[in-house]
A and B are shown apart, each in its own frame.
Chain A
Amino acid sequence: MNRTITAGLAALLALGPGCGLAGTALAGGSTLDEDDHHAYYFGSVKDTNGAAVENAKVKVQTKTIALMTQSDITGAYKLPILAFQTNPDDVTFSCSKDGYRQLDVIRRSAPGGDAKDPIEIDCTLQRE
């Protein structure tokens, strides 16, 4: 049922404007139905001293698609566009920056959480 509604909304937006109905549905933060909750990947990139590494490239690769972003000044990143249907086991994670090599990747999920919970992945870079 939920899926049908979502598909309908998706089609509505994709097909373009029909006075406004699409806009609200897509613009995020809406709580129209359950499917509007999205799992996302977040975490931080640090060096071996535990200091934040900014502007590191963060890549999440699934079977079909690569998602790329960068860490901010606090080393934090967020990739908000993965849907919760994505199986975390199918996701490969990497971080990189010129002058560094990837040392370690740590994944954390909320205890007892389900597929809709965000997944934290932290990455450690070592200076070359």
Chain B
Amino acid sequence: MRSVRAQRQTRVRALLAAFVVLGAALPFVGGTAGAQAPTIAGEVASAEEGPMEGVLVSVQKAGAPISITVVTDANGRFRVPGAKLSPGSYSLRIRAVGYDLDGPQTVTIPSPEADDLQLGLRKTEDLAAQLTNTEWLMSMPGTAEQKRPLIECMSCHTLERIVRSKFDAEEFAAVLRRMTNYANNTTMARVQPRIAEREVPEERVRKVAAYLASVNLSAAPTWSYPLKTLPRPKGRATRVVITEYDLPRPAIAPHDVRADRDGMIWYSNFVEPFLGRLDPRTGEHAEYAVPVLKPGFPTGSLAMEPDEDGNWWLALMFQGGLAKFDVRTKRFAMFPVPPEMNGDTTQQSMVMPRRSHVDGKVWTNEVSKQAILRLDLASGRYESFEPFAGLGGGRTHSPYGLAADAANDLYFMDFGDESIGRVDAKTGAVTLYPTPTQASRPRRTMLDAHGHLWFAEFAANKLAMFDIKQETFKEWDVPTPHTYPYDVFLDKNSELWSGSMSNDRILRFDPQSGAAVEYLLPRQTNIRRVFVDDTTTPVTFWAGNNHGAAIVKLEPLE
């Protein structure tokens, strides 16, 4: 064990030396060749518990946009790998629900104490400020049906905002009417009103408003219910290093995040007309302005997917269309939805160009019409498919996550309801496959090389797989209730990775054994698309913090 670690350290140092020789700019990988890499290490303890396992310790160099986080082991010990540090002054943060850091708040390396810091925690005076959305949903009284509407709120803001409010039922009804007229690509840092106003049934508004006014601070200065918390990480969940790259503006809302073949990290910005790129080796950040198609309409893009050539496609939401970014020329080609199909509610949230080289077509969706669109690259024309037209009214449908098979047949998630859909590329024939769990609301998806379509069942709190050849399903519960998984990614070891907007935890799940690890992230992290880089061993997980203007890298140590 020890010799393996020693070997690894030697290899890391050799790598560092190579970088230094090459003169690479490594502002946060630091360390000089031959010198002992400085580390920050120590123990975390509290009067209540003594040495504490599962406390997240984050260090951030003064003035640097990068934070490194490690987790204390069963003995309360932590160690930030020296390879991630360079000499200088670091601020210290912790995350352990129920506690605050008593001190010290900073450390300088190298220094004698940096190797054996004693971090003391004290009970927090404001537990509510530390609760995740999941913990609020666990704590609130009420039925599942009463709580269910709140899962929509998390798209734009935390539930803490709701429970700390003092609106009575009538005031809340007005707030809700106002909320329905914000675009879904709205964050607290950038609020975007819809162009087309929406009518909401008054009875529905009143019902939700009455419930919200019963769980907030409208009647008393504090909550009438006990605040419940999730357990801290243990065992495997503590063996991880997390790196957060802060982006330069608080309004940047990374939604879909992926690495390209060179290890560059690209992301769609949900609320601003930019495509972003981060070089995780140097921290260098670049943005490419997406041309605005509809001035005055909400900006930002949701899905970001590569085509066969590694060019990035963006679904432009209320801008009405798609954009293709050529990675060589760094230019955008724009594919607006044509005027006769393009109104005030037009919204493209998804794009699927991965098999466009097969037939010259790119799939997308038209959210306002519950329709699928297909772009013909040669002509720039869109054709429309209405997969739910035969079903009549009475249920809500919404084509969402998209995947394409080898023949560019489309698989889509009916996020409004409970089915996986298929559109045949040649005939346009539609088949719907209801998930075993009703009202599951499948959300984002990926198709693996074996024809297994992996997806997250947002409302069912499950991960699932649909075998496109056998036409059969499998489903697995995620371990924590009220997680509401958004997406799932299958890595090279056949393990699943998932994240959500609810509890700042990354789920690593082995569908064969059922073994689950939940890695806690250091900050409030609104997670959407998830990505795993299979080129490293162990694999490296990436996601954006949609509300926190940061890119998150998670490196499991095993």
Contact = CB atoms under 8 A, between A and B. Distances in A.
Given A64-B430, A85-B393, A21 B438 contact: no
Interface string B170-185: 0000011001111110
A10 B393 contact: yes
A94 B438 CA distance: 22
Given A23-B152, A81-B418, A15 B394 contact: no
Contacts of B198: 8, 11-12, 15, 18
A21 B390 contact: no
Nearest to A37: B394
B204 A25 contact: yes
B200 A21 contact: yes
Contact of B152 (A10, A14, A22, A86): A22
Interface string B298-335: 00000000000000000000000000000000000000
A125 B397 CA distance: 33
A31 to B, nearest CB: 10
A10 B390 contact: no
A62 B397 CA distance: 18
B153 A17 contact: yes
A87 B195 CA distance: 38
A86 B394 contact: no
Nearest to B203: A32
Interface string A65-88: 111111000000001111111100
Interface residues of A, number: 51
Contacts of B199: 8
A36 interface: yes
B432 interface: yes
A113 interface: no
B91 interface: no
Contacts of A32: 201, 203-204
Contacts of B393: 3, 6-7, 10, 35, 83, 85
A85 B392 contact: yes
A75 to B, nearest CB: 15
B394 A85 contact: yes
Interface residues of B, number: 62
Nearest to A69: B434
Given A27-B148, A68-B433, A15 B184 contact: yes
A32 B208 CA distance: 13
A81 B390 contact: no
30 contacts: A8-B198, A11-B368, A13-B398, A16-B155, A17-B152, A18-B200, A19-B176, A20-B150, A21-B200, A21-B204, A21-B205, A22-B149, A22-B396, A26-B439, A26-B441, A27-B148, A27-B439, A32-B201, A38-B394, A57-B471, A63-B390, A64-B430, A65-B391, A68-B471, A69-B433, A80-B418, A80-B438, A81-B432, A83-B391, A85-B393
Q: Which 6 A-B pairs have the closest CB atoms?
A: A20-B149, A18-B180, A85-B392, A16-B184, A64-B390, A83-B392
Interface of B: 145, 148-153, 155-156, 175-176, 179-184, 194, 198-201, 203-205, 207-208, 345, 347, 349, 367-370, 387-398, 416-419, 429-434, 438-439, 441, 459, 471-472
Given A24-B145, A37-B394, A80-B418, 12 more contacts: A8-B199, A10-B393, A10-B396, A15-B368, A17-B184, A18-B181, A19-B150, A20-B151, A21-B149, A25-B396, A80-B434, A81-B417
